[in-house]
Chain A
Amino acid sequence: MRVPLLSQGLSVGRRASSAAADAAGRAALAGLDALLDWRYTDEAVQRVLSSPVADRAVGHALRGPLVDAIARDLTRYAVLERVADELVADEAELERVVGSVVDSPVVQRAATQVLGSRLLDTIVERLLESEELWLMVDEIAHSPAVTDAIGQQSVGFADQVAGQVRVRSQRADAGLERVARRLLRRPR
């Protein structure tokens, strides 16, 4: 008789504690909602973010294993590939993103700095000194595509000149005939 009574008592106790936990959770959420809607919340967040505490927190986070974990997860869940797929699928969005990046003053300043830097001169000098570059240039210059293009351009130019000669000679034919007929008084 005593065992069922004990069991019932325990069950009632568990239900009571569960109900109390639910009530506490709901109260906490209501409190959070109220906190988020509070007019000072934004200001408080801003102050926290601009405080040295935030700097130190970010520093700790970046020094710690968080970055490695993020990198692992980025790879594991193929985050970059998914983002790239989304961008490629939406061509207009891709163009907008690329355009905004290229047009941004930061990128333009960076490009100007790179172009004006000694680094670029050094790279160009090294490239010009490298034998592989000239081998590659030689290879490209002798490639069928390039020689065909040059040949076609030459033929095209010769055709253009010959075409002009033909047009002018026909005009000269007509002009000479008019003169001859006028001189000999032989109208057509």
Chain B
Amino acid sequence: MYAGLVTRALAFAVDAAIVDLTGIFVGVVVGLGLSVLKTPDSVDHLLLAIGGVLFVVWTVAYFVGFWSTTGQTPGNRLMHIRVRRASEDAALRPRWAFVRLIGTGLAALPLLLGFLPMLLTDRRRGLQDMLGRSVVVHVRAGGAR
């Protein structure tokens, strides 16, 4: 059975919270550390840019890492769903996981219209699933269903 929009949105919200809270925590710690040092503005800007890049890398690593290994991010695990290849019951390859992440961004760009196919297709696939050759299925506590 394929997971629908609401379930996947809740799982994604949990993941977004984890990614953002981790980023905020690290940012606050680094910011507090730097606050005692007198650094020029140019250095601050550079550190800000580096922090931004690291946050993007962290986000990509989080989603690509989980999708291409267990197929379950912590949010997916909480909602008992799993990302797998559309053609077979296996985890995505890292490059297709990366494509899927880019697809998620693309699906959100046109006022979230890229997610609309999830409501209309039989396998509940959004733009990101079509680009990443994936589907999202419900799993029991022990395995797929």
Binding site for B on A (CB under 8 A): 162, 165-166, 169-170, 172-174, 176-177, 180-181, 184, 186, 188
Contacts of B6 in A (CB 8 A): 169-170, 172-173, 176
Chain A residues, CB < 8 A from B122: 188
- Please, which residue of chain A has its CB at the minimum distance from the CB of B2? A173
B127 to chain A, nearest CB (A): 15
B 1-38 binary contact with A (CB < 8 Å = 1; else 0): 00111110010000000000000000000000000000
**Chain B neighbourhood of A173, CB < 8 A:** 3-7, 124
Q: Is the CB of B120 within 8 A of A166?
A: no
Complex Cα distance, B119 from A173, in Å, reads 8
SS of A interface (majority): helix
Q: Is the CB of B4 within 8 A of A166?
A: no
Distance A166 CA – B79 CA, assembled complex (angstroms): 6
Instruction: Give the complex CA separation of A169 and B3 in angstroms.
Output: 10
Please give 20 more A-B residue pairs, beta carbons under 8 A apart, in addition to A169-B7, A172-B4, A176-B4.
Answer: A166-B7, A169-B10, A169-B79, A170-B6, A170-B7, A170-B138, A172-B7, A173-B4, A173-B5, A173-B6, A173-B7, A173-B124, A174-B4, A176-B6, A180-B116, A180-B119, A180-B120, A181-B120, A184-B120, A188-B122
Q: Tell me whether B78 is interfacial, beta carbon within 8 Å.
A: yes
Number of A-B contacts (CB under 8 A): 42
Across the two chains, which residue of chain A brings its CB closest to B77?
A: A162
Measured CB to CB, the residues of B under 8 A from A are 3-7, 10, 78-80, 116, 119-120, 122, 124, 138
A-B contact pairs, 27 of them (CB 8 A): A162-B78, A162-B79, A165-B10, A165-B79, A166-B7, A166-B80, A169-B4, A169-B6, A169-B7, A170-B7, A170-B138, A172-B4, A172-B6, A173-B3, A173-B4, A173-B6, A173-B124, A174-B4, A176-B4, A177-B120, A180-B116, A180-B119, A180-B120, A181-B119, A181-B120, A184-B120, A188-B122
Most buried by A among B10, B78, B119, B122: B119
Q: How far is the CA of A73 from the CA of B86 in the complex (A)?
A: 88
Q: How far is the CA of A174 from the CA of B116 in the complex (A)?
A: 14
User: Residue on B with the closest CB to A180?
Assistant: B119
Residues on the B chain within 8 Å of A174, using CB:
4
Closest to B6 in A: A172
With most chain B CB atoms within 10 A of its CB, the pick from A165, A173, A186, A188 is A173
* Closest CB in chain B relative to A177 CB, distance in Å: 5
Cα-based distance from A188 to B124 in the complex (angstroms): 12
Q: Complex formed: what's the CA distance from A184 to B113 in Å?
A: 14
Instruction: With both chains docked as a complex, state the minimum distance between the C-beta of A180 and any C-beta of chain B, in angstroms.
Output: 4
Question: A176 CA to B9 CA in the complex, in Å?
Answer: 13
Set of chain B residues within 8 Å of A176, measured between Cβ atoms: 4-6, 119
In the complex, what distance in Å separates the CA atom of A174 from the CA atom of B119? 9
Complex: A186 Cα to B121 Cα, angstroms: 10
CA distance A142 to B55 in the complex (A): 41
Instruction: Determine the chain B residues whose CB is within 8 A of the CB of A170 once the complex forms.
Output: 4, 6-7, 138
| Interfacial chain A residues near B3, Cβ < 8 Å | 173
